């Protein structure tokens, strides 16, 4: 192997990456980092207006960054988004399935017992996380199968390894994302091309909009009991930052991970390794 090639692994110049949920808190950081490494980036988000606000005023070159209105639960709209990406950049190298999340109405607490969670709330969360990963993987994966190469990166969560209290639908949804990651990795490699890889990241606890109301007190900003318990079970004794995800994301999209597929990588400050004793 030519050792000079090592320096090119993280040069994304000419590579096209589509990021669903790309205008979200984690998506924004991921998009910025890939853009900084030279990638062409397509930000696919339900809220295109928000995506435009975030990215169009940031000095990004419109030749290398495009925002696309997308709904990961709608195959037709997702296919239109792929067409937009192909018309703009000519090919697709990587898909990040970042759209996902929980919903307060599928979260147990003093005002919502498990027995009262409406089926439609549970279904909303399951669909957003599982189908919202499956549908773009079908649309973009088909294109990758035709090209004979590509990388898909899913976003799972800590709660996929062992469920967390209070969030049954989100835990089940992300467990299904991890399982699907393994299934799709095998399917695409065996049936289509060993040059198509599928992996996932499993972020630990980041203080973001999604969980802020669970980890900190809305009025005082102090840690809740749950927030304290998480820090107590995290050997690195802190919440993660969106930047903590970037190294693993870049590695899993790059040729540095050419022989890695079907994995779910925890990025959790040691939370999943710690028995609590």
**Residues interacting with ligand NAD, by CB under 6 A?**
20-21, 23-27, 45-47, 70-73, 98-101, 128, 132, 155, 157, 203, 206, 208-211
Given the complex with ligand NAD, which of 24 and 168 has the nearer CB atom? 24
- Residues involved in catalysis: 170
Residue facing ligand NAD at closest CB distance: 24
Q: What is the helix (H) or strand (E) element at residue 20, kind and residue range?
A: strand 16-20
Closest by alpha carbon to 28, among 190, 240, 216, 242? 242
Given the complex with ligand NAD, which of 24 and 227 has the nearer CB atom? 24
Residues forming a β-bridge with 41: 17, 65
Cα-based torsion angle of the residue sequence 195, 196, 202, 203 in order, rounded to the nearest 10 degrees: 80
Sign of the CA dihedral with 27 first, then 30, 33, and 36 last? negative
CB 46, min distance to ligand NAD, A: 4
CB 204, min distance to ligand NAD, A: 7
CB 242, min distance to ligand NAD, A: 8
Q: Specify the residue for token string 């997702």.
A: 78
Token pair in block for residue 249? 């994301």
- Report CA 158 to chain centroid distance, whole Å: 13
For 144-247, strand residue ranges (E) read: 150-155, 196-203
41 exposed, middle or buried (CB, 10 Å; 0-12, 13-18, 19+)?
Answer: buried
Given the complex with ligand NAD, which of 91 and 103 has the nearer CB atom? 103
CB 202, min distance to ligand NAD, A: 7
Given the complex with ligand NAD, which of 37 and 215 has the nearer CB atom? 215
């Amino acid at each position: 192997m030519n050792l000079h090639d090592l320096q090119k692994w993280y040069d994304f110049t000419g590579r096209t990456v589509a990021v669903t949920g790309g205008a979200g808190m984690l998506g924004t950081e991921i998009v910025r980092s890939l853009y900084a490494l030279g990638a062409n980036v397509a930000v696919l988000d339900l809220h295109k207006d928000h995506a435009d606000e975030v990215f169009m005023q940031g000095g990004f070159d419109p030749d290398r960054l495009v925002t696309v209105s997308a709904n990961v639960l709608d195959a037709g709209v997702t296919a239109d988004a792929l067409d937009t990406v192909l018309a703009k950049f000519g090919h697709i190298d990587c898909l990040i399935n970042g759209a996902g999340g929980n919903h307060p109405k599928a979260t147990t607490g003093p005002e919502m017992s498990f027995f009262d969670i409406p089926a439609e709330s549970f279904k909303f969360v399951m669909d957003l996380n599982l189908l919202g990963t499956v549908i773009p993987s079908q649309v973009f994966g088909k294109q990758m199968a035709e090209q004979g190469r590509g990388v898909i990166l899913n976003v799972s969560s800590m709660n996929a390894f062992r469920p967390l209290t209070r969030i049954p639908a989100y835990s089940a949804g992300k467990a299904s994302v991890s399982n699907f990651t393994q299934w799709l990795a095998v399917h695409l490699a065996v049936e289509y091309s060993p040059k198509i890889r599928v992996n996932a990241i499993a972020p630990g606890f980041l203080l973001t909009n999604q969980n802020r109301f669970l980890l900190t007190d809305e009025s005082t900003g102090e840690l809740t009991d749950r927030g304290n318990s998480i820090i107590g079970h995290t050997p690195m004794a802190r919440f993660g930052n969106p930047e903590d995800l970037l190294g693993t994301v870049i590695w899993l999209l790059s040729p540095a991970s050419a022989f890695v597929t079907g994995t779910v990588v925890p990025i959790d400050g040691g939370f999943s390794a710690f028995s609590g004793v």
